[in-house]
Amino acid sequence: MNQFLSVLIFFLSINVLATELVDKRVVDNVGDIHSITLDNNQSLTVYLPEKYSENNSENNDAYPVMYVMDSEKYFLHAIAYQKTLTWQDKSPAFIVVGINTENLKRRDLLANNALEFIDTMQNKIVSHVEQHYRTNDMKMYFGWEMAGGFALELFAKRPKLFDAYFLASSTHFSMERLKSVNEILKSKKSTAEFFYYTLGSVESWSLESHQGLAKIFTSNNKNDLKWEFNLSKSDDHYSTPLDTFNKGLALYFSDYSPIRFYSIKQFKDFGGMIALKKYYKERGIHYQISQDIHDDTKHYLLNQSINEGDFEFFKMLVNEFDGFIERFDYSIGFINKIAQFYLDNEAVAQAISLYQSELIKNPNSAELLDALTAISRKYQQ
């Protein structure tokens, strides 16, 4: 029995050690999460993306902000979304501000005292965040249940405060609030650009008001506002937030992911280089980031031209993306692929130049040196 216990304790200790190591790696890779107390009634939890606090004198990037109501339940959803996708540039990194309501009288806060809380939202919460953090102009709001209904009043009373709204299983879509939304849209005073809201089909008590909001959006379709209402057959009152975060943010950020073309024809049908530059210019303005064509897009196009054997198109890209191949961290395997494409098209000097530039970056690479030597011997004879 004692021997069994000893073995059990040994394996448990190993398991605990492994868990601690995994947890440390995960925590180190999350970012900064801290709490702020604004006053006796209002506290916030703030997440700063991993790169926000990098010790780099040139790191002065500004970030979008998502304000998450009922953050004691939903704060981590916004973090998980971006952590899953930012490493592949499928989503921008963004600050998450959790607005804690657990110890507050939620009904009074979001219904009876909604006007007061709207002032708090703008003049205390948003103001504090924008004064103390590097934020850009993109502000997003998430609300579930009563916080969803509150969002309509917030939108109507402060039509320029938030750019995007993500609502889940909302209640209190009152006639007064719906009317106010309609009036603001007709007045064109709103700068909001996106609404995504969800409801489980089992929530029949809220269906009419949600469809009413859809009719208002449809009747004001000349506005720049993009919106989508998802009536889910698989979600209920408590699972709709998952859909709202995942599908809503994916839809809102659909133009953020680097664009990829799977054929030269597809690129030309898109509008070619002029259209591509315009696309990235608009993307850069919208997200307040670089307006340059993304490196992934450049790589995909170069690789596609090699795969299709279109050397003229390849040369155009090399000229357009001047210095990209030499600057990009390509594997030796892909450098060999490019060099062979040059050789196949009798561009020996370009192949030699490519290997020479790579050897500057990797002077101890025997593989690169052997490839350069082989070309020099073959084509100098």
pLDDT score of 318: 97
Arithmetic mean of pLDDT, 4-23: 44
The token pair that represents 104 in the structure block = 């507050």
Check residue 223 and give its pLDDT. 78
Has residue 16 got a pLDDT over 90? no
Distances in Å between the Cα of 240 and the Cα atoms of 97, 149, 265 are 20, 15, 40
pLDDT of residue 3: 53
pLDDT at 303: 98
User: Options 3.30.9.10, 3.40.50.1820, 3.40.50.720, 1.10.10.60; which CATH number does 31-252 get?
Assistant: 3.40.50.1820
Helix residue spans in the chain (DSSP H): 2-28, 71-85, 106-107, 114-120, 127-132, 146-157, 175-187, 204-219, 240-252, 264-270, 272-287, 295-307, 311-320, 324-327, 332-344, 348-361, 366-380
Distance, in Å, from the CA atom of 296 to the CA atom of 280, rounded to the nearest integer, reads 12
pLDDT value at residue 40 = 77
DSSP state of 293: P
Q: What's the half-sphere exposure (Cβ side, CA atoms, 13 Å) at 239?
A: 9
pLDDT range class, residue 189, cuts 50, 70, 90 = very high
Burial of 286 (0-12, 13-18, 19+ CB in 10 A): middle
pLDDT at 114 over 70: yes
Confidence at 39, pLDDT banded by 50, 70, 90: confident
* Range with lowest mean pLDDT among 62-66, 100-104, 149-153, 216-220: 100-104
Tell me the range of 52-56, 178-182, 188-192 where mean pLDDT is highest.
178-182
Cα–Cα distance measured from residue 332 to residue 335, given in angstroms and rounded to the nearest whole number: 5
> pLDDT band for position 147 (50/70/90)?
very high
Cβ-contact 61, 134 below 8 angstroms: yes
- Fill in the DSSP letter of residue 58: T
Residue 312 has pLDDT above 70, yes or no: yes
**Which residue pairs, CB below 8 angstroms and at least 24 apart, start in 270-277?**
273/320
Q: What is the mean pLDDT of residues 13-33?
A: 53
Q: Which amino acid is at 52?
A: Y
* Domain range annotation of the chain: 31-252, 264-380
pLDDT of residue 59: 67
Q: Give residue-wise pLDDT tens across range 210-226.
A: 999 999 999 998 778 99
**How does the average pLDDT of the chain come out, rounded?**
90
Which of these, 329, 328, 353, lies nearest to 339 by C-alpha position?
A: 353
What value does the mean pLDDT take over residues 192-215? 97
Tell me if 31-252 shares its fold with 264-380: no
DSSP annotation of 104 reads: S
Average pLDDT score over residue span 76-81: 96
Per-residue pLDDT for 263 more than 80? yes
Q: Tell me: the pLDDT tens digits for 223-253? A: 789 999 999 999 999 999 999 999 999 999 9
Does the domain made of 264-380 have the CATH classification 1.25.40?
yes
Nearest-angstrom CA–CA distance, 344 and 338 = 10
pTM, rounded to two decimals = 0.85
Place of tokens 């050397």: 311
Phi, then psi, of 227 in degrees rounded to 5: -150, 160
Q: In the predicted model, is pLDDT for residue 13 greater than 70?
A: no
pLDDT at 378: 82
- Give me the pLDDT at residue 379, please: 80
- The residue written with tokens 């809503």 in the block is 248
CA distance 336 to 208: 62
